[in-house]
Amino acid sequence: MPTLSPQVLEGLKAAAGDGGWLEDADAKAPYLTDERDLYHGDAALVLRPRTAAQVAEIVKICAENGVGIVPQGGNTGYCGGSVPDQSGLEIVLSMSRMNTIREVDAVNNTLIAEAGCVLADIQAAAGDAGRLFPLSLAAEGSCQIGGNLSTNAGGVQVLRYGNARDLVLGLEVVLADGRILEGLRGLRKDNTGYDLKQLFLGAEGTLGIITAAVLKLYPRPADVATVFCAVAGARGATAMLSRLRGATGDGVTTFEYLNRACLDLVLEHIDATRDPFQARHGDYALIELSSGREAAEAALAGAIEAGEALDAVIAESGRQADELWRLRETIPEAQKHAGGSIKHDVSVPVSKIPEFLEAAEEKSLQIIPGARLVTFGHIGDGNIHYNLSPAPDGDARAFPGDAEKLCPAIHDIAVGLGGSFSAEHGIGVLKKQELEKYKSGVELDLMRLIKRTLDPKGIMNPGKVVTGSD
């Protein structure tokens, strides 16, 4: 197997500083596979710099010698975007030691965090200052903000606060030639030309390496009501969402959907969970309202009277709210216990969600009769995690093989309704073919032009998303 020269390796180690590199196979192993264990690679080194200057020096050496760089945050992604190839000629650039929160400015409602800061730590720092950083997702205890921004992470509060790219005011980025773009400005108004930071948000490390960011903070909601509802199908859920937004002055922070199969899996596989209702229902919504309990009760009464909601529980305490959230947040874990699964991360306009689910169910059961439809997601912003698990008596080992037939059909339905085949998980390696299929020729040409311009040697996360020569 070809290797990098000893001179290049020693230069990279020196650039990463004391304790800033891993070479032993066992030490490197956790950095060489993905969260879902779908992708496995190799790397000459795992480098763990502490400063942007060290990152810049590493990139300069890689650029001079044509060495591919795979930036890696918490390595919690689902599409293989943070895993090196199998050549052993790339390096993994872990941002985990760049984990300083440089500044919290409660008056300006901003926080400056280095790329390796764990999302939960940023949330806590904002909370200590009496503020809210609203990006929230299941992996927040281990994912890092650099990865969140590089994949334009979504999560449960996009409805109110937007995706990750909407929460950024400025970036510090190391470019493919080793220069540093110093853009850590906490300004809401800066109308001075192209918004360069947007090039790197959602680019999955293919254009440059985010080393720090200025993040938006918000006042903490004074009175949050957490509600778990049984709803009259997806049509009832979307009608109820519209009603609640109007009745509360757009005070809906979160609107999560799950079907009965999700709840059954959680109750079967996750300890300390219980059904909030005595009766079984087919569809549910978990809702957070920042307009307070009184407004929540009035809006819910209207939804029940209209037949959109069938039953509802409003959390009486923080502990009960946590219990209701546990029913939603542990669905992926419960699905793992059920065996192999087929996952989709699609989005459609909110008004099209019922039509999507009806068409997807019909197509799914044509292709895989008897499959369990495990449907959940952030329908407040149109994002559905349309997953399938084998029937309780089905063959879990053979089940994932059906994805080759099913996934294109589900993506066709979503895109046909004006939606996307990737709502929040990104492209990585997994969805490059879908990108080629669904993006227009003009969009692909522009993406390749940007890639060639910013990364002419093709060293930034090679083979991911799009390459300049495709």
CATH number, domain containing residue 374: 3.30.70.2740
- Domain endpoint, select from 167, 202, 219: 219
The angle subtended at Cα 79 by Cα 98 and Cα 148, nearest 5°, is 35
CATH number, domain containing residue 175: 3.30.465.10
pLDDT tens for each residue of the chain, 470 residues long: 456 899 999 999 999 999 999 999 999 999 999 988 889 999 999 999 999 999 999 999 999 999 999 999 999 998 999 999 999 999 999 999 999 999 999 999 999 999 999 999 999 999 999 999 999 998 999 999 999 999 999 999 999 999 999 999 999 999 999 999 999 999 999 999 999 999 999 999 999 999 999 999 999 988 889 999 999 999 999 999 999 999 888 899 999 999 999 999 999 999 999 999 999 999 999 999 998 778 888 889 999 999 999 999 999 999 999 999 999 999 999 998 887 789 999 999 999 999 999 999 999 999 999 899 999 999 999 999 999 988 877 666 656 677 788 999 999 999 999 999 999 999 999 999 999 999 999 999 999 999 999 999 999 999 999 987 65
Residues 411 and 328 in one domain: no
Asked whether residue 80 is assigned to any structural domain, the reply reads no
Q: Are 326 and 273 in contact (CB under 8 A)?
A: yes
What pLDDT, on the 0 to 100 scale, is given for residue 295?
Answer: 81
- Domain endpoint, select from 405, 425, 445: 425
Residues 105 and 215 in one domain: yes
Residues 345 and 300 in one domain: no
Asked whether residue 153 is assigned to any structural domain, the reply reads yes
Asked whether residue 4 is assigned to any structural domain, the reply reads no
Residues 110 and 214 in one domain: yes
Residues 276 and 289 in one domain: yes
C-alpha distance from residue 204 to each of 62, 87, 424 (Å): 18, 20, 12
Residues 245 and 330 in one domain: yes
Q: What does the alpha-carbon distance between residue 70 and residue 469 come to, in Å, rounded to a whole number?
A: 19
The residue with tokens 């299941």 is: 138
Asked whether residue 440 is assigned to any structural domain, the reply reads no
Q: Are 131 and 219 in contact (CB under 8 A)?
A: yes
- Spatial neighbors of 346 by CB under 8 A, at least 6 apart, are 356, 383, 384, 386, 410, 411, 414, 419, 420, 421, 422, 423
Asked whether residue 53 is assigned to any structural domain, the reply reads no
Helix axes 403-416, 353-367, angle to 10 degrees: 160
Distance in Å from the first CA to the final CA of the chain: 26
Q: pTM (2 decimals)?
A: 0.93
Residues 278 and 300 in one domain: yes
What pLDDT, on the 0 to 100 scale, is given for residue 1?
Answer: 42
Give the largest Cα separation in the chain, rounded.
74
Residues 255 and 323 in one domain: yes
Residues 252 and 321 in one domain: yes
Asked whether residue 5 is assigned to any structural domain, the reply reads no
Asked whether residue 351 is assigned to any structural domain, the reply reads yes
- Domain endpoint, select from 190, 219, 248: 219
Query: For the chain, how many structural domains are there in total?
Result: 3
CATH number, domain containing residue 261: 3.30.70.2190
Give the residue numbers spanning the domain of 420.
339-425
Residues 369 and 293 in one domain: no
